[in-house]
Amino acid sequence: MPGMTVLLGLTLPTGKLESPWERARYPSYALMHSPFKKTLDVLATSPCPAAGETLLHGLSAGDPSLRDGIVAALLRRRSARGIQEIIRRFESFGSDTRAALERQLPALSNAFRQCLIHGDEVLRRNALEMIRAFEDYSQWGTLVTLLESPGHPQRDRVLLVMRELADRLYEHLKFGREVQAEAAGEKRAADNQDERLAAGRETEAFRQDPIPAASRKFLRDAERIRIQTVSILEQACRNFTRHESPEVVECLLILADSENTHAQRALREAPEPCRKLAAEILRNSTHPAIVSLVYDGMALNYPFPGTVAAFELRTDAEFISHLLRHWPRKLSLFQHKNLKQVQKLAWINPEDLQFEIIPAALHRPLISLVLATSLPEDHKLAVLEWMVKHGSPEGRHAASDVLVDLEDNKVQEVVLEGLDSDDADVQAWATSQLRTRDVPQAFALLIQRLDSPMLEVQEAARRELGDFDLQRALLIYDHLDPHVCQCVGKLICKIDPQTISKLRQELTTTIRRRRIRGARAARALGLHEEIADALVLMTQDVDALVRRTAAEILADVSPAASGRSLCALLEDASPRVREAARMSLQRQQQLFGFHREAHPESLSLTAPSVLSDAE
Amino acid sequence: MNPTLLACRDLLILASRPPTVTQMLTPTRVAYIAGGLTALLLAWLGYSLLEKYRRWEQERLKTTEGLFDQLCHAHELSRAEKKVLAELNAPLPVEQWPLVFIDPQILLAQVRAGNQVGEHAELGEKLFGQRFAE
C-alpha cells in the first residue's frame, strides 16, 4: 500500500494522513503526529498555572475529538484540580476516553478518595461510578470509612459499589481470564427453582449491568487484592455497630475462603448482630461463593459459625445442585464427622418428596448424602423407597443395597410393588431382585415374566433363570418324571432361545457318550422333533450304538422327517441297528399310520408286507 | 681555584638568593595575569548574566505571556502569524490568550466571519492540523 512503512512488524502510515479513512483508522497515530500534540506537550509540562486552566477550558468547551489528548495532558500535569475536573466530567466521556482513563488508574486513585470524602455530590457520584467501572480495589478502605460516617448521602450507592467489586473480584479469582466472556454472555438463572436445579447452574450474573468491553481485563494479582480486602472487611465486621450494613458481612463471606481462620475469628468475635447476620446470609444467599462456603465448610475440622445450621436449613436449588454435583466419591474424616451432626435436611420431607426435579445423574450422590447424615430413620427410608420406585438405575441399585441393611421386609414390599409398575425399567429391576431378596414364589413369578410383553422384563427374567439351562437339564433329566421333563424342556427353551442349536451341537460332539445322552435327553425333554435333522444325521454315524440310539429315538419323530433314514437302517451292517430300525418303523406306523412318502421303495407293496419281510 | 668555577661562583651566589617581586613581575607576565583575571571576570559575569537570564526566563514561563510565547515557539509561528494571534487576543484578558491554541472554535469563528480568511485558516491548520481544514 503506497505511503506505508513497516516498522517492527507494524504497518504504519508515513507522512500526512491524506484521507479521512486513514485518520479514522489511525486516530491515536493522527493525534500523536498532529500539531495539536505540540500544544498538549507544552501545556502538560508548563509550570504556568494558566496551562492547567487552558486545558480545563479545552475539556469543557473544546472539540470532543480532541478530548482524549486533553485528558491525557491533564493527567500528565498531575494537577489535583485537573483530575478533579476530569472526574466531574466523567459522564460526558465516550468509551475511548474512559478506556484511556482506566489505563491511568493509579494516577486517579488518590483523587477518588478526595472526591469521595470532600467532594460535592457530582464528584462523589462520578468517583463511585469510576471506582465501579474501573474496578479500583484500592478504595475498599475509603468505602468502608464512608459507610461508617453517619448519614452519608450516597450510602446505598456505596453499598452497591462494594457488592459489585466483591462479585468481580470473586470472578477474577475463580475464573481468571474467562470471567469476562462468561459474564457478558451469561443470563440470569431462571427464577423458577425447578428450572435452576434441572439446569444444574452454579454461577449467576449478579451485576446490575454488564461489564463494558473496555473494562475487560485479567487481574494479575487477584489473590493479593483479596487478602487485603478481606483484612479490611474483617475489621469492618468487628466495627459492625458503626455501619450496620449486611452487605459488608456478605462481601466478607463472598471473598473469604473456607479455610480463612482470620475471617472465622473475626465473625466469632464480631458483635452479636453481625454474627446473626452472617448465619442468615449463610442460610439464604444464593451467591456461588457463599454456596461453596457452606459446602466446603463441612470439610473443615472447625467450620464457619453457622455452617452446619445453613446446611440443614437451606432449600434453594443452587445449594442442592452444588451439593449433589460436588459430592465426593469418598468422604474425608472431617466431612464424615460434620455430616453426622446434620440432624435434618429441610428439603427432604417424607410426606412430600419432590425429587423429580433432581437429575438422574445425581440420584446416587443423593443416596450417599442421606446415609452420611443423621437423619431420622423414617426420612432415610422414605428417600430410599422413592429412589427404588422412581430413581435412575444407579440410584435404584444403590438404594436397594442399602434398604436390605435397614429393613428386609420393606425391600420385598417394594420389589412386589415394582413388579406391577408401568415403567419397564422399574419392572425389570423388580424382576432382577426376586431371587436376591428371597421373595416368596420367586421362581413362579420369574417364569411368568418370561412371557412379559416388555422386552426389558423378559431379559431380566432370563438373566435370573440363567442357571436353568440345557447343561443342567442334560445332567438331571433321567432323574425327573417324564411329565416334568417335558415341562423342563419347554422352560429351558423359553429361558434360552438358543437351546435347540445348543442341543444340535451336543449331538455332533466328538464324545460318543455325550452324543447318545444328548439324543436321549432330547426325547425326554420333548425336543426330538425340533432336532429331527440332527437325529437323521446320527443315523449315519460310524458308531453302531449311536446309530441304534438314533433309530430308537426316530420312532417318535414323524415319518416325513425320519422314514427314509429308518428304511436305510434296515440295511445296516449291525443286526442291533437293523432291529432298532424295524421296531421304530413299527412304532411309527402305530403312532402315525402308513405314510407313502416314508416308504417310496415299497409303493407296489403294502407296508405290513415290507415289515414282515424284514422280520 | 678552577677559573670555570670562579666564573660560575657569582652566578651560583645569585641563584641561591630568592628573586624579588619586581624581578618576577615582568611586563609580559603582568599582561598574562591581567588577561587571565579579565577572562575569569568576564566568564563569571557571563555566567551570572546567563543565570540571571535563565531565572528570568523561568519566571517568564510561569506567566501567561510566557506560556503564549512558548506555544508560539513550539508551533514555529512567524512574526506575522504571532501578530494575527495578538490581534485576536487583544480584547481578551491575558489569562485567556493561550485558549486560541486549545479551542479551534476561536479561529473558526474568525474564518466564518470572513475576517482575514486566508490567514486564519492557514493559522488554524498550523495549530490544529487537518482537523481544522475539515
Instruction: Summarize pLDDT for A398-448 with one digit per residue, the tens.
Output: 887 777 666 667 777 778 888 888 888 888 888 988 888 888 888 899 999
The minimum CA-CA distance between B76 and chain A, rounded to whole Å, is: 10
3-state secondary structure of A10: strand
Best mutation target among A19, A21, A39, A68 (most B Cβ atoms within 10 Å) is A39
Residues A10-69 have pLDDT tens digits of: 444 444 444 454 444 444 445 455 788 889 999 999 999 889 999 988 888 766 778 888
The minimum CA-CA distance between A94 and chain B, rounded to whole Å, is: 19
3-state secondary structure of B132: helix
* Phi and psi angles of residue B61, each rounded to the nearest 5 degrees, phi first: -65, -25
Question: Helices A442-449 & A455-464, crossing angle to 10 degrees?
Answer: 140
**Of B63, B64, B71, which has the smallest distance from its Cβ to A39's Cβ?**
B71
**Of B64, B103, B126, which has the smallest distance from its Cβ to A50's Cβ?**
B64
Residues A174-231 have pLDDT tens digits of: 877 554 555 555 544 444 444 444 444 333 333 444 444 444 567 788 889 999 999 9
Residues A494-552 have pLDDT tens digits of: 899 899 999 999 999 999 999 999 999 999 999 999 999 999 999 999 999 999 999 99
On chain A, the residues whose CB falls within 8 A of the CB of B107 are none
On chain A, the residues whose CB falls within 8 A of the CB of B58 are 47
pLDDT at A185: 54
Grid cell digits, residue B22:
619586581
**Of B74, B95, B128, which has the smallest distance from its Cβ to A42's Cβ?**
B74
Q: Is A17 on the interface with B (CB under 8 A)?
A: yes
A57–B134 CB contact, under 8 Å: no
Q: Is A42 on the interface with B (CB under 8 A)?
A: yes
The minimum CA-CA distance between A31 and chain B, rounded to whole Å, is: 9
Helix/strand number for chain A, H first, E second? 38, 2
CB A202 within 8 A of CB A295: no
Nearest C-alpha neighbor of A542 from the set A568, A567, A521, A572: A572
Size of the A and B interface in Cβ pairs below 8 Å: 82
A43–B129 CB contact, under 8 Å: no
Question: Helices A363-372 & A317-325, crossing angle to 10 degrees?
Answer: 90
pTM, two decimal places: 0.63
Kindly tell me if the per-residue pLDDT of B55 is higher than 90: yes
pLDDT at B132: 64
A47–B58 CB contact, under 8 Å: yes
> H or E element: which one contains A85?
helix A80-88
Which residues, 6 or more positions from B8, have their beta carbon under 8 angstroms from its beta carbon? Answer: none
For residue A128, what pLDDT band results from cuts at 50, 70 and 90? very high
Which residues, 6 or more positions from A489, have their beta carbon under 8 angstroms from its beta carbon? Answer: A473, A524, A525, A526, A527
> Which residue type occupies A196?
R
**Of B61, B75, B99, which has the smallest distance from its Cβ to A48's Cβ?**
B61
Q: Which residue of B has its CA nearest to A18?
A: B130
- The yes/no answer to whether this complex scores an ipTM above 0.90 is no
Grid cell digits, residue A281:
446470609
CB A55 within 8 A of CB A74: yes
**Of A53, A54, A63, which has the smallest distance from its Cβ to B104's Cβ?**
A63
Distance CA A614, CA A414 (A): 68
Task: Calculate mean pLDDT across residues A379-397.
Answer: 84
**Of B74, B103, B128, which has the smallest distance from its Cβ to A61's Cβ?**
B103
Q: Which residue of A has its CA nearest to B134?
A: A20
B134–A20 CB contact, under 8 Å: yes
Kindly tell me if the per-residue pLDDT of A463 is higher than 50: yes
Classify residue A228 by burial, with Cβ atoms within 10 Å: 0-12, 13-18, 19+.
Answer: middle
CB A249 within 8 A of CB A240: yes
Which one is predicted more confidently, A208 or B60? B60
Q: Where are the alpha helices (DSSP H) in A270-332?
A: 272-284, 288-297, 307-313, 317-325
Burial readout A376-414 (b: 16 or more C-beta within 10 A, e: otherwise): eeebbbbbbbbbbbbbbeebbbbbbebbeeeeeeebbeb
Residues A92-106 have pLDDT tens digits of: 888 888 888 888 888
Residues A293-327 have pLDDT tens digits of: 999 989 888 887 788 999 999 999 899 999 999 99
Grid cell digits, residue A410:
420393606
On chain A, the residues whose CB falls within 8 A of the CB of B71 are 39, 42-43
On chain B, the residues whose CB falls within 8 A of the CB of A34 are 128-131
B74–A41 CB contact, under 8 Å: yes
pLDDT at A602: 43
A36–B105 CB contact, under 8 Å: no
3-state secondary structure of A5: strand
Distance CA A255, CA A229 (A): 8
B64–A48 CB contact, under 8 Å: yes
